[in-house]
Amino acid sequence: MDKLITVEEHITYEDIFAKVRELDPARPKRMDPELQEFLGGYFEGVQGWDSLTGRRLELMDEEGVDVQVVSHGHGSPGQLAHPAAVDMCKEVNDRLAKMISEVPDRFAGFATLPLIDPAAAVDELHRCVSELGFHGSLVLGRYQDLFLDHPRFRPILKAHAELNVPLYIHPGPIMDSVANAYYSGGTWPAKVDYMLASSGFGWHVDAGVQVLRLIAAGVFDELPNLRILSGHWGETLPAYLERFDDQIGIAATYLERPFSQTYREQVWITPSGILTPAQLNLAIAQVGADHILWSEDIPYIKCKNIRTFLDEADLNEGDREKIAHRNAETLLGL
């Protein structure tokens, strides 16, 4: 394998995160003590990853990762419902661009966009691509209770299509009403509530629904150049492509293409550190090697076998190279 590029890797600026927590009106003021203790331990391993040198480079060298495409992780100002989000996103992007410029052969960037202000988000995407050299953007879930198919976000989607850069739809916290109805109220402790509703299952479904709604809304028909990246092997959707055609397709007769065709033509998926042969085989079967990129999800997931898994996978060499780096180079313009 000539090179390995991973595309869902994160950095968190703790001062920005603290400001987001201060300004976020939805942040809970109280928390179950056991859950608070659990989260303290859970997030301990992701603190201090605010640099592109030091242990990050050491880990990349150890694992055999040649290039990371980096974006802001938890505590992003992109989803913040406060006017300060516009300037905070600019600050995040400027910091990241400066860091990348110091190690340009090992890193590339995705922009953080202020979803509170779509016009400002479009301007910031243009700035990040044309001036900072970024290769797209990454959003962390919905904005408030709105999905990306809402008309207010159409200018952001159009800008990605016009600039020929992808939008990475990453999971984020799900709506409280959904979390309470689906994942709480059992006999288990609050920390199980949290994991069911978040990285254990809930937010993957939520991120998959984002993409499903974009297809149902006809956004991809309207924007045939729009390209979406979806982590965690497509956030549950690839296994259901034929079901979408058979069941939703008979109602959504206004669409120009079957759901599965739209997905296979305009969505690319990555593993986000979930390294299992069954998932890889399903992805190959459903979307093909041309629509798979590689990702680890640093610092939340650290895979000693991020390279060896792909090296040893039952793939022909052409497909292995596509997944390892060629698809990323083509899609992102690296």
Q: What are the DSSP calls for 20-47, one per residue?
A: HHHH-TTS-S---HHHHHHHHHHHHTTT
Percent of the chain beyond pLDDT 70? 98
The CATH homologous superfamily for domain 3-330 is: Metal-dependent hydrolases (3.20.20.140)
User: What per-residue confidence (pLDDT) applies to 36?
Assistant: 80
User: What per-residue confidence (pLDDT) applies to 26?
Assistant: 67
In the chain, where does DSSP find H-type helix? 14-23, 33-44, 55-63, 85-102, 118-130, 154-163, 176-183, 190-197, 202-216, 219-222, 231-235, 241-243, 259-266, 277-286, 308-312, 317-321, 327-332
Average pLDDT, the chain: 95
Q: Where are the domains of the chain?
A: 3-330
User: What per-residue confidence (pLDDT) applies to 88?
Assistant: 98
Which 8-state DSSP code applies to residue 217?
T
User: What per-residue confidence (pLDDT) applies to 74?
Assistant: 87
User: What per-residue confidence (pLDDT) applies to 56?
Assistant: 95
Average pLDDT of span 14-33: 80
Average pLDDT of span 267-288: 98
Answer yes or no: is pLDDT of 42 > 80.
no
Predicted TM-score (pTM) of this structure:
0.96
> Coil, strand or helix: which one is 130?
helix
Percent of the chain beyond pLDDT 90? 88
Lowest mean pLDDT across 13-22, 95-104, 239-248: 13-22
Cα separations in angstroms, 165 against 10, 36, 331: 19, 38, 7
Structure tokens at 74: 């938890």
Answer yes or no: is pLDDT of 32 > 80.
no
User: What per-residue confidence (pLDDT) applies to 33?
Assistant: 82
User: What per-residue confidence (pLDDT) applies to 48?
Assistant: 77
> Kindly report the CA angle at 167 between 153 and 278, in degrees rounded to 5?
130
Answer yes or no: is pLDDT of 265 > 80.
yes
- Find residue 230's DSSP bridge partners: 169, 269
Average pLDDT of span 42-47: 75
Lowest mean pLDDT across 24-28, 97-101, 137-141, 173-177: 24-28
Answer yes or no: is pLDDT of 264 > 80.
yes
